[in-house]
Amino acid sequence: MTDKETPVSALPADRPAFGRGPADGSGTAGLQVGLSEMLSALSHALDMTEGQPVGHTLRTCMIGMRLADELHITAAEREALYYALLLKDAGCSSNAARMAMLFGSPDQDVKYRMKLVDWHKSVRLAVHTMRTVGRGEPIWTRAAHFLRIARTPDMTRELIAIRCDRGAEIVRQIGFPEYTAAAVRSLDEHWNGQGYPDGLMGDAIPLLSRIALLAQTLEIYSHAQGMPAALDMAAARRGTWFDPQLVDRVTAWRRDLAWWHSLQVPDIADRVVASEPTNTPLSVDDAGLDRIAEAFAEIIDAKSPFTFRHSTNVARYARAVAEVTGCDVVEARRIYRAGLLHDIGKLGISNRILDKNGPLTPDERLEIERHPVYSQEILQRVEAFNDFATPAVLHHEKLDGSGYPWRRSGDTLDSAARILAVVDIYEALTADRPYRAGMPSHRALQIIHEE
């Protein structure tokens, strides 16, 4: 750290809005869940949105925290960095629709491929872009997408600014201090001032952002091309993308093969949780869990312009129906959380399918019908979500067994699943969409009654 940088200890003492202490409920009243455990599990959803392999965020976290240890940054900085690394992609869904439209390819594929090119090399970038646009389309369609991108001023800045601003806002919404949000917002700033969204240069870039960018890019290249290629990439971008001092640190890890191999172990999530940089881990209570679920509902709904506030509305409607039908407070809250996260699996579906203006092909329909399976894969990773994960993923099942994806029948669907199935359809019918106005409530209720 240079004299020009502001240490965390000199910043306002705003702390994350979470408790500290045992996360198993011992010595406390009510729910207490480890924050690191919850966010480590939910990082799987963000990896899906970014088109990254399972565990990308977790491996990035381990790389970043090793750098933090070697730099001997303060305890407050280490804590802020840890959570910034777990939430670095919180804004990733917000530019997915725009990216899929511009490139004419699945957004997850575009996001993955464009992270494997040096943006500062204009010729290589152009070639890489041409190979990425309109995948599977005729050559003239691909050329049209390429020309559209070339003629779109400040396209890269726009896409990254959308993502970075939204990511920082999500971090604040969950309850983290400004320093953590700033680390997420400046993730794509480059040492030479040619990054985004603000073109910060050198020490003007928050130290935690510099660490996160290097850690993220190392993980991506290491997983795709191997550790030697990743370190060669870092050395080649020393002083352009990356802080030279940080690159010098990581290049010294070349012979530490055992550590690099340790990033690929199946229990990487447990290792990340164990590495939480505090003697008193952060935990969340019922209100904190709601806040995290609400934040992820916004991440889900940002994926497509056609689903603005869909998850939030479904959750509100579901809780209201639960209360009217005599559910107690605990059950109503369970149904509310299920509504917030019922569509989290859609983060793994391409916007080329979600936003398609026209009938889906059979293969596209099958992919849409897999989103509850993806939801199940995500939610089952979070122990605190076990009590509502099942109704959340069953919201497209129907009493007669004609729903999807498991074709469950009425005798296997509890009241929570039935409530979510009804309010999901009701919200979809009554909400305004970019392509149509919402249906009047009486007409939507008539359709639901008929079914």
Q: Which residues are catalytic?
A: 346
CA 355/CA 346 separation, integer angstroms: 12
Measured over all CA atoms, what is the biggest interatomic distance in the chain, rounded to whole angstroms? 70
> Is beta strand 282-284 parallel, antiparallel or unpaired with respect to 33-34?
antiparallel
In 273-322, beta strands by DSSP E: 282-284
Q: Helix, strand, or coil here: 364?
A: helix
Contact present, 190 and 173 (Cβ < 8 Å): no
Compute the residue count for the chain: 451
Tokens at 88, concatenated: 């670095």
CA 341/CA 321 separation, integer angstroms: 17
Among 42, 38, 82, 14, smallest CA distance to 286 is for: 38
Tokens at 314, concatenated: 């479904």
CA 236/CA 234 separation, integer angstroms: 5
> Which DSSP string corresponds to 379-415?
HTT-GGGHHHHHHHHTTT--TTS-SSSS---GGG--H
Q: Helix, strand, or coil here: 200?
A: coil
CA 330/CA 349 separation, integer angstroms: 32
